[in-house]
Structure 1
């Protein structure tokens, strides 16, 4: 099956929405003593939690990822270890480079005596997006089994995963399984979408998923916020709740309904060039998008240059526009600055014949370390996370042993043109 521009659009749109959402809700306040505080907008102004309905579109990313993975695995001739290794490296190499640079900065800051509280906050901000990485790595590793189940049972697989996720929500520690099951429903629906099993079902998915979401929020115990809010229990994201599962279903249905219209728009070359450009920089955008916030905080807030109207006031909302514009300009500079690092993956050598045990052991180390970064940040309690750093380094090294052939252009994570073969990197990386 050839390239589907709409799938590329979905993952590019998901990345842009994640970045814009994080930037929009990030609030900074300079205290009289010069310290910078980051109040939690969603907690202090509860009505803003409704905004998360527009920015929580990660279900589309998992949907697009499943769509691409289905075609890629079908063409892999049954080489599970080699296929999983390639997919994992498209995540681990850029994430490892990013983590390594951030950890070096954390180590230097700790040595020069940066305040532990400040270091912990910054370390958390730089890792807040990492929740996605371990979940996607697990789903990628399970793809051969998930796709085999799809070929045998079709739509019954995501339905069954949803039922198990509902039961797991009430079992001790079942929430950990919920991360894979809830987001796995969207991933599995990507297989179904690619194979035509969702044809004509968009309206039903929107209706059932939307009704379930409204019922669970209005009549049930779940909040409307689709982003974690401190002190909110239960949460819809930590772990993913039944309300989030309903949102996944509704959003997939909406995606199907909009497909004919958006495919016509994407047939225009000017529009497609923009989408392709964003897709090509997706991993950089996803990993590095909080760095501009730190740069702007240092340049405008630490110096006292930034105006500070009351949080949530009309003036504060008005300043969100220049805030987003400035962050966008800085992000463009960051993308240009880190572009040479993308070549590291191209210079690496990839062995598809490596021993299977090194792959699975490496993935275990990497998933565990990335999960710890996602939960605790890069500087828990203001200290360098030595064990997590070693775990990620060892895990990546085990997944990527010295190989027999160089990575081809079509394997590079920064080249969106690879989507033509079904091996598009973008849904695998953010």
Structure 2
């Protein structure tokens, strides 16, 4: 049998392929977003000294791209759906399996990078370079702590949706709103970790609601325009940043912790998903369409854990050739176009890393 045929034959008939497609879109969006906004700049007088920069800082025209590539809400929605379907009647075994699958790829990443980090330190790498490497590797992993917390609470969250329906989202939204108020006032920073978990609990609960039949398809025409209207109102009337990710100079980020704007964006994205879900399901019944979606889902954690390593490996290699356009130069001028040309190189490096480390996710 061909690989496509084997994947099709191995897929259970009851599996919801649309959720896997949504998860694939979320992973691809996050990876591309990180590759496109993570500018690593080398000092012309001291090439080994790096600092981070963002192409979004001086280009407001690029901000709409963040609305498409900031897809964490979709990821947590898919996680909530999987939790509701997987933990029924066997919560403890499901939790153990889930925690193991999430933790093992991260542990392997640490086993590789801790010695590499010590080697860079021993070679007297500039502190600014060490900071860039640390940020690129560690910051994308923050969401795993939130995801693990929500996974551990999945049985309780499922019970809340069963009892209160969509009203179970209200405490999460209220906590995020309270945190936004304190950020505007410059008080109560201790609320930020709580708001981070509460903020991503909202799409997680929506995923549970879909799995339990509480979130109907007709919610799509409500979530899409409602999310767009809420996001526009927050930016135009309440002074929220328009970017879905942090931008130097904005003062605060819609993502750290997630703000009401982040929830509005997730609502709009999920509205689109609900509107196209039936047509998407029919499309995914084609083996050639389904095979790459299934393959990416099987390697989702490996892709996420190693995508910034791929960027760093290409960047380290690029040092030998100088400040190539889109790599190690300032994110000015035509930098975004040049960066697009590097995406296949990053993807090729990531494919090699996945080939080496995917075995630890299986």
Using the size of structure 1 for normalisation, the TM-score is: 0.74
Whole-Å separation in 1 of the counterparts to 2:141 and 2:130: 18
Superposed CA deviations along residues 158-214 of structure 1, whole A, max 9, x for unmatched, are 133212332343352222211111110100001111122221111011122211111
Indicate the SS of the match to 1:44. coil
Residue 15 of structure 1 is matched in structure 2 by 27
Equivalence map 1:419-430=2 (5 Å): none
Q: 1:324 aligns with which of 333, 343, 351?
A: 343
1:46 deviates by: 3.4
Query: Is residue 202 of structure 2 the alignment partner of residue 185 of structure 1?
Result: yes
Residue 59 of structure 1 is matched in structure 2 by 73
Q: 1:333 aligns with which of 349, 352, 360?
A: 352
Using the size of structure 2 for normalisation, the TM-score is: 0.87
CA contact (8 A) 2:67 2:244 kept: yes
How big is the alpha-carbon RMSD for the aligned residues of Structure 1 and Structure 2?
2.0
Superposed CA deviations along residues 380-429 of structure 1, whole A, max 9, x for unmatched, are xxxxxxxxxxxxxxxxxxxxxxxxxxxxxxxxx43xxxxxxxxxxxxxxx
Q: 1:137 aligns with which of 148, 168, 186?
A: 148
Residue 304 of structure 2 is matched in structure 1 by 286
Residue 6 of structure 1 is matched in structure 2 by 18
Query: Is residue 316 of structure 2 the alignment partner of residue 313 of structure 1?
Result: no
CA contact (8 A) 1:19 1:286 kept: yes
Residue 86 of structure 2 is matched in structure 1 by 72
Indicate the SS of the match to 2:252. coil
Unaligned runs of 5+ in 2: 1-12, 183-187
Residue 153 of structure 1 is matched in structure 2 by 164
1:72 deviates by: 1.2
Superposed CA deviations along residues 23-64 of structure 1, whole A, max 9, x for unmatched, are 122334443222444422122333322210110111111111
Unaligned runs of 5+ in 1: 343-412, 415-430
Query: Is residue 312 of structure 2 the alignment partner of residue 301 of structure 1?
Result: no
Determine which structure has greater relative contact order: mean sequence separation of CA pairs < 8 Å that are 6+ residues apart, divided by chain length: 1
Whole-Å separation in 2 of the counterparts to 1:292 and 1:176: 29
Query: Is residue 121 of structure 2 the alignment partner of residue 103 of structure 1?
Result: no
Tell me how many residue pairs correspond in the alignment: 339
Moved more, 112-121 or 211-220: 112-121
Indicate the SS of the match to 1:249. helix
Equivalence map 1:129-278=2 (5 Å): 129-171=140-182, 172=188, 173-199=190-216, 200-278=218-296
Relative to structure 1, the CA distance from residue 322 to residue 178 in structure 2 (aligned partners, 3 Å threshold; closer, same or farther) is: same
